């Protein structure tokens, strides 16, 4: 059974369950209003940080809400958008892709890890590690070397995209 199938079935069951709750009428007196007042007094879990606004506001360095430069973060995701994403940690600044086999060369696959190391838009604030494997004689995946300039050219592409984003943000 495929993951997509299980996901679709789970999402459908959840959606049907939520729509079944539509007819339930709650009276304001039942809740007592106490919890609403307590929530207002308690404040926000992360203060004034909006977790969905990775670099919003009028800040030039685009650090709002995450521990790394927002332009580098978005540029990295944009540059790696053709690869399947395995995990992304905006607070630690690590993006890990899953293995990707290009259609033109099915006998090899790639995996990329991007480390964003700082809050400023600088060339030493981003590091890229590329892992490459080739299929062996027994159909097993064997590690293969990648050229050092492959990582460097991907770093340069991310930096160029981040600079473009920064310029377009300051113009608009």
* Contact yes or no for 157/141 (Cβ under 8 A): no
Closest by CA position to 112, among listed 136, 140, 142, 77: 77
Q: Which domain holds residue 83?
A: 1-172
Strand segments (E) across the chain? 85-89, 94-97, 108-116, 126-135, 141-144
Distance CA 137, CA 124 (A): 40
pTM of the model: 0.61
How many domains is the chain partitioned into structurally?
1
What is residue 83's predicted lDDT score, i.e. its pLDDT? 94
The residues with which 130 forms a beta bridge, in sequence order, are: 112
What are the strands of the beta sheet with 126-135, ordered from one edge?
A: 85-89, 94-97, 108-116, 126-135, 141-144
The string of pLDDT tens digits covering residues 72-91 is: 999 999 999 999 999 999 99
């Amino acid at each position: 059974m495929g993951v997509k199938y299980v996901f679709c079935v789970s999402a459908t069951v959840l959606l049907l369950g939520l729509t079944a709750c539509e007819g339930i009428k709650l009276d304001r007196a039942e809740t007592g209003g106490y919890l609403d007042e307590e929530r207002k007094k308690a404040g926000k879990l992360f203060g004034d940080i909006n977790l969905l606004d990775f670099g919003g506001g009028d800040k030039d360095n685009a650090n709002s809400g995450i521990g790394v430069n927002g332009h580098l973060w978005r540029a990295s995701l944009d540059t790696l958008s053709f690869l399947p994403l395995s995990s992304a940690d905006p607070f630690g600044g690590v993006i890990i892709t899953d293995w990707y086999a290009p259609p033109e060369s099915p006998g090899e696959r790639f995996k990329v890890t991007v480390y964003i190391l700082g809050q400023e838009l600088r060339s030493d604030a981003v590091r890229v590690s590329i892992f490459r494997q080739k299929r062996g004689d027994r159909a097993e995946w064997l590690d293969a070397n990648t050229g050092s300039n492959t990582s460097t050219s991907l770093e340069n592409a991310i930096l160029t995209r981040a600079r473009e984003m920064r310029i377009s943000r300051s113009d608009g």
